Amino acid sequence: MSDVPVVLQPVRSLGRSVLGAMRQAGEVTLFGLRGVAAAAAPPWFPGQFGRQILSVGYFSLPVVGLTAVFTGAALALNIYTGGGRFNAEQIMPQIVALGITRELAPVLAALMLAGRVSAAMAAEIGAMRATEQIDAMQTLSTDPFHYLIAPRLLAAVLTLPVLTAVADIIGIGGGWVVATRTLNFNPTVYVRNTWDFLQQWDVVSGLIKAAVFGFIVALTGCYHGFTASGGARGVGRATTQAVVSAAVLIFAADYLMTSAFSR
């Protein structure tokens, strides 16, 4: 029998949950710091880094591009409809460009990578943990943080800004197609309005967000895979947790950075 009164049982459960969340946050932070330290110091593995660049960056281009073009097109239609209620349809090019570069391109690209890359990292590293390949690697004096974690962190941090820049162009292009083919905007005027309105910081702030999101995507995938336990079921659970954790942290980081940049 517990010596805690019944009325305090929910408080105890809440306290355990909070302490567990704080403990896991500390573990993830230490894991990320160790991964950054491994990326900054030799030995480096260029082959692993190159494979991760292809996996994270090149093979993610189709899904990021499709997401961007349809997002830009839908955004243009919605802004045109909303602006029409105030006779302000002509501001549509500027709002589309601002929304894509500062917010939608980095966030949506990161979410696509969370579903594709973070899950793949968790599954791959989790399978290596379940089959004791990581233990064998340590037995052979190969640091798994240098060989497995660091290349993935670097690849995600470097490639997601590039993917975001591509998404900026494609997303704005999707808005341009809808505006000129469906909403009767003049193509030259649309491009000039977009170019004159956008500022350098609009694009740079989105790229900074993308670099942070890339770190989050790789960190969550590597952490949940590296700490997976329980065989195949544990690997599946780690994959799910990686995607959910990455998505939640992306939205939280997006809010914090948007607040900081707005000041």
Q: Is the peptide bond before 43 cis (omega within 30 degrees of 0)?
A: yes
- Output DSSP code: residue 235: H
Identify whether 186 is part of a domain: yes
Identify whether 255 is part of a domain: yes
Segment 184-216, tens digit of pLDDT: 888 888 888 888 888 889 999 999 999 999 999
Identify whether 39 is part of a domain: no
Terminal C-alpha separation, the chain: 54
Output phi, psi for 184, to 5 deg: 65, 35
pLDDT score of 183: 86
Query: Residue 76: which of 157, 193, 250, 160 has the closest Cα?
Result: 193
Q: Where are the alpha helices (DSSP H) in 182-230?
A: 187-197, 200-226
CA dist list (Å): 178 to 108, 146, 186, 251 = 20, 47, 11, 28
pLDDT score of 13: 80
Place of tokens 């900026």: 168
Identify whether 118 is part of a domain: yes
**CA 216 from centre of chain:** 6
- Band of residue 1 on the pLDDT scale cut at 50, 70, 90: very low
Identify whether 110 is part of a domain: yes
Domain count within the chain: 1
Identify whether 224 is part of a domain: yes
Query: Residue 112: which of 254, 220, 224, 246 has the closest Cα?
Result: 246
Residue 169 CB-density burial (10 A; 0-12 exposed, 13-18 middle, 19+ buried): middle
Identify whether 13 is part of a domain: no
Identify whether 132 is part of a domain: yes
Taking the model in full, what pTM does it have? 0.89
| Structural domain for 237, as ranges | 56-262
Contact 79, 183 (CB under 8 A): no
**CA 113 from centre of chain:** 6
Burial annotation 71-100 (CB, 10 A radius, 16+ → b, else e): bbbebbbebbeeeeeeeebeebbebbbbbb
Segment 14-54, tens digit of pLDDT: 888 788 778 878 888 899 899 999 888 888 888 989 999 99
Contact 79, 95 (CB under 8 A): yes
Has residue 134 got a pLDDT over 90? no
